Structure 1
Amino acid sequence: MASKRDNLLYKLRKKGVRVLTRERTIFFAFDREPFDVVQVKRLCREYHFNVQLELQ
């Protein structure tokens, strides 16, 4: 049975965002606002993930 965290990660990866679950890091494009995405907000708040902005 999938957990809520797995569902959030699945939806985020479908949007083209790279995530390292072992390091709890979300790599997000520099030109967009990461906290406009609901999955990013919830992963940071509930599961203590960090956002790393990257140049593309």
Structure 2
Amino acid sequence: MPAPLCAKAHCLIYRLRKKGIQVDTKARTIYIPYYENVNDYVQAVRLSREFHINVQYIIV
């Protein structure tokens, strides 16, 4: 079982959710619509790189 996320990660997740991006913290997955680029969301890139959270595209 992975370790709990720190306060810095929760801050980044809060900013992503404010932009309308779905985040599943239990599965450590960020769901981004297929037509959008991951690099447009700095928070998603940081969460992926620093906290090993996966990014998954969804078809809307």
| TM-score using structure 2 length | 0.86
Match of residue 19 from structure 2? 15
Indicate the SS of the match to 1:52.
strand
Question: Root-mean-square deviation (CA), in Å?
Answer: 1.1
Matched, 1:40 2:41: no
Indicate the SS of the match to 2:31.
strand
Unaligned runs of 5+ in 2: 1-5
Q: 1:3 aligns with which of 7, 20, 36?
A: 7
Unaligned runs of 5+ in 1: none
User: Percent identity among equivalent residues?
Assistant: 44
Query: Segments of 4+ in structure 1 off by > 2 A?
Result: none
Give the counterpart letter for 1:27 in structure 2. Answer: Y
1:46 & 1:26 partners in 2: Cα distance? 14
| TM-score using structure 1 length | 0.92
1:34 positional shift:
1.1
Q: Report how many residues are paired.
A: 55
Q: 1:55 aligns with which of 32, 42, 59?
A: 59
